[in-house]
Every structure is written in structure tokens, then in C-alpha cells.
Structure 1
Amino acid sequence: MDTLFRPLVPGRVHRWGGAGLLVARRPDLTHLPLCLSAAEQRVARALPAWRRSGWMAGRLLAKRLAGELVGAPAREVEVLPRDDGSPHLLVGGRPLPSLHVSVSHTPGHAAAALAPEPVGVDLCETAPADTVHRAAHHAFSPRELSLIGTDRGTDRDEALAGAWALKEAAVKADRSGPFGGAPHRIPLLGLRPPALGGPRRAMAWRAGDVVVALVLAHA
């Protein structure tokens, strides 16, 4: 059966629209070393145990991606939260305002993206939980639901995962927070190819059992 989104190979650096993207299966990351700065270690220790491993997987990929794109050793790269919780990149202790970072993870995968403009990356499993199906009628407008489709099944699950991931990636790029009305203010205009309202560029891929959404927004 044809999939809605183009396949993406985990473990390879992909480039799109000036951004670098790296997606990996989390089991493939468990044997890789992770160099955390003292500041990153403090953040990690403050997280609940159930969040910590996903947080670290995203940072590992962001550090590897920064190493490939800017040539910085992993030990010199930090990914720390701003006051609003969004991540920002430092190299050698100095912020890189010209380079934006975003991370995401699910139980099985992690992703990181770097770009010279505000960027958001999000992962959503293609077999969403029933709560996601129930929430769809509240999260999407009637027009958006028509793009997703109305019948339960594999195709609709992939479309729903893609729509969900695209909106969440856009919220991350906007740094507007995933709660409240922010997702509703970002109209989904298309899935093939992905399109969002406003000054945003969007793309989505299929990587195994997840959809990967990448959104670039003007600063």
C-alpha cells in the first residue's frame, strides 16, 4: 500500500530547505556516548525519570547534528532550555543565535533539527492512541478533518499522525507553546504536499511507524 509521506531513513542526516534533520531509533542510541555539560546534567537530574531518557536521546542527536553542520566537537555543544522551555544551542559556552534547534521523541524514536531560521520538528506514531482520535475533532477544524479523512484505518492513521505532527512542529517553530489556542491558530492547508498557513514551510516523512514533521518559520 502506498504511504502518504515519503520514506526517511533513520540514522542519516537529511537536508531540506536549509535545515538539517536527524532521526534515529532510540534502541540504536543506547550504546552511543553522550557528553553532557554540567548545566545539561543539572537539567537532566531535575526531570522525572520517565522523561529523562527521551530528553537525552534528543540531545545526543542535536549534538551529533551540530557536529556535522558546524564542525563542533560534541563535548563543546550544549542544548539548554530557554525561560519558555524551548531549546537553544551553545558551542563552547556561547549561544549561536544564527542557528535554531528543535528536538522531539516518542517511545521508539528521537529526532533533532537545526536551521538558520526558527525550526520545529515533531514525531507522531502512525498508530495513534484512542485519545488522539478522540481529540482530533477538537484539535482540527472541519476543513482540516476533511484533509485527514473520516474512516478509521491505516491511511487515516498516517494522515492523522502527520497532521498532528505538523501542527506541533509549527508551534515549536513559533515558540508559542503547545497548550491553549496556539495549534488552532495554525491552519493545516494540505498533507500531500504538507502546507500550513502563514509564513511557514513544511515537510513530512514516514520513518518506520512514525511520521516526522519539519516546519521552518520566518524569524
Structure 2
Amino acid sequence: MHTTAVDTAIPPIAPGHVHRWGGARLVVARFTDLRQAPFLSPAEQRVVHALPARRQAEWTAGRLLAKRLAAGALAVPADEVEVLPRDDGSPYVLVGGSPVADVQVSISHTARHVAAALAPGAVGVDLCETASADAVRRVADRVFSAGERSLIGTDRPDALACAWALKEAAVKADRSSVFGAAPRLVEILGLRPPVLGGRRRATVWRAGDAVLALVLAPSPGPAG
């Protein structure tokens, strides 16, 4: 299958290493490099067994990577870490069966790579392959504003992948979905370097033939 390489102006990210950016920790790995340790807990196994068979391998890979990342950040054995879904589907970290306060986690995957990010505040990570550019074009009118479409263009697969990854990462940080009204609340002001509205901070790398976006969102203020 023909794929378009990611623009080399986007810096590459080394797989298998923990990278730090803006207070977050991020790791990306190739599916072929992942091993099964640490093992899934009984609660994690119940979640994965309830998924369709086609999703089980990717879900498992994402959780294994996130468990390793959290274990290193929290200085605890990886087998004591669990990454389970909230009611809204977003992942959260537990150690010894108890949720960890002030730690947020985000996970993404493609057919070839999986990524996990951990931060003390709202964080979102997303991988989008340049081969998905046609799919992004088909939903562009629903996801991007007219100004964003003009900024992104339609003839650059890397730009389309970058824009989608930024939107997806941002709504993950907001614990929302890229479908519906939420993406329109995230404004892309620039791609190189990535600039988002709403005091969000963002950066991008290339991971193989995919764009990897990391977004940190401001913590909500106290209820008034």
C-alpha cells in the first residue's frame, strides 16, 4: 500500500524512550517491540475481554505502555499499576487498587505504533497516519472551521494528519470526543509550530508514517 511520508520539518521521536515536555512524560513504541509484561490485572482483563476481538490487541498494547510509563513516573512496581476506563471511557491510573490523584493519562495507537502520555494536569495524545488523510478530508467540514481548513489546506497529507492529531489530542485532554461539537471548541491557530486556542500548549513529532500530537490543557478553575 502506498503511504506518504510525514513532512521532515516535523521532528522525529525516538521510540521506546520516555520524553519530557511541558511537565508531561511521553513514550511511543512500535507494536512489534511491545511485550506482555507487566501483565494485565483481573480488572483490566475483564475490560479487554468485553471488547470486540479486533480491538483487544490495541487496547492491551496501550495499557501495557501506559502502565510502564506510570510505574516509572511514580516509582512503583509496574504490576501494581492499573489503567482502567472511567464512565466516559477516558483512562485513569490506579496504584494498589486506589486512584492516583493529580495524575492524568492519555493513550493512542495506529496499526504500527502506540503512545502514552502522563501529566499532573489535563493531557491528550494522539497518533494519526498520513495514510488517513482522505478520511480526514471527508469529515473536515464537521471538524474544522473555515479558517482552519484554509490554514491546513487539502493537498498535504502530513498537514491533515497533524491537524487531526491536534484536535483529537485536545478533546482527549478535555475528556470529550472528536465527534460532535467538541472539536469546534478547539481552535487551531498554527501548525508549525502548533498553536491552539484556549491557553492550550501543543507540540508534534513524527513517528514513522504518523504524526504524534501532545496537548496540555489548563486545569479548570474553582467552581464559582
* TM-score, normalised with respect to structure 2: 0.91
Q: Deviations over 1:84-114 (max 9, x none)?
A: 1110000111111211000011111100000
2:18 to 7, 13, 21: 13
Output the CA distance in 2 between the equivalents of 1:107 and 1:71.
30
Instruction: Report if aligned partners of 1:4, 1:159 keep a CA contact under 8 Å in 2.
Output: no
Cα offset, 1:65, TM superposition: 0.6
Output the CA distance in 2 between the equivalents of 1:217 and 1:145.
23
Aligned AA (2:41): S
Q: Deviations over 1:39-85 (max 9, x none)?
A: 10100110011111111111111111112211111110000011111
Cα offset, 1:130, TM superposition: 2.5
Secondary structure of the structure 2 residue equivalent to 1:20 = strand
Aligned AA (2:168): E
2:41 to 13, 37, 40: 37
Q: Deviations over 1:131-157 (max 9, x none)?
A: 222222332122112221232xxxx11
Cα offset, 1:173, TM superposition: 0.3
Which residues of 2 match residues 109-124 of structure 1 at below 5 A?
109-124=113-128
Unaligned runs of 5+ in 2: 220-224
Secondary structure of the structure 2 residue equivalent to 1:55 = helix
Instruction: Report if aligned partners of 2:154, 2:160 keep a CA contact under 8 Å in 1.
Output: no
Cα offset, 1:27, TM superposition: 1.2
Aligned AA (1:24): A
1:172 aligns with 2:172: yes
Instruction: Report if aligned partners of 1:24, 1:109 keep a CA contact under 8 Å in 2.
Output: yes
Secondary structure of the structure 2 residue equivalent to 1:128 = helix
1:130 aligns with 2:134: yes
Alignment-derived partner of residue 157 in structure 1: 157
Instruction: Report if aligned partners of 1:22, 1:113 keep a CA contact under 8 Å in 2.
Output: yes
Instruction: Report if aligned partners of 2:115, 2:126 keep a CA contact under 8 Å in 1.
Output: yes
Percentage identity across aligned positions?
65
* TM-score, normalised with respect to structure 1: 0.93
Instruction: Report if aligned partners of 2:26, 2:115 keep a CA contact under 8 Å in 1.
Output: yes
2:8 to 3, 22, 26: 3
Alignment-derived partner of residue 73 in structure 1: 77
Alignment-derived partner of residue 31 in structure 2: 26
Q: Deviations over 1:182-207 (max 9, x none)?
A: 01111111111111110211111111
Alignment-derived partner of residue 218 in structure 1: 218
Output the CA distance in 2 between the equivalents of 1:136 and 1:178.
12
Instruction: Report if aligned partners of 1:4, 1:158 keep a CA contact under 8 Å in 2.
Output: no
Aligned AA (2:15): P
Output the CA distance in 1 between the equivalents of 2:92 and 2:142.
31
C-alpha RMSD of matched pairs (Å): 1.4
Alignment-derived partner of residue 52 in structure 1: 56
Alignment-derived partner of residue 222 in structure 2: none
Cα offset, 1:129, TM superposition: 5.1
Q: Deviations over 1:16-56 (max 9, x none)?
A: 00000000111111x44241111101001100111111111
Secondary structure of the structure 2 residue equivalent to 1:204 = strand
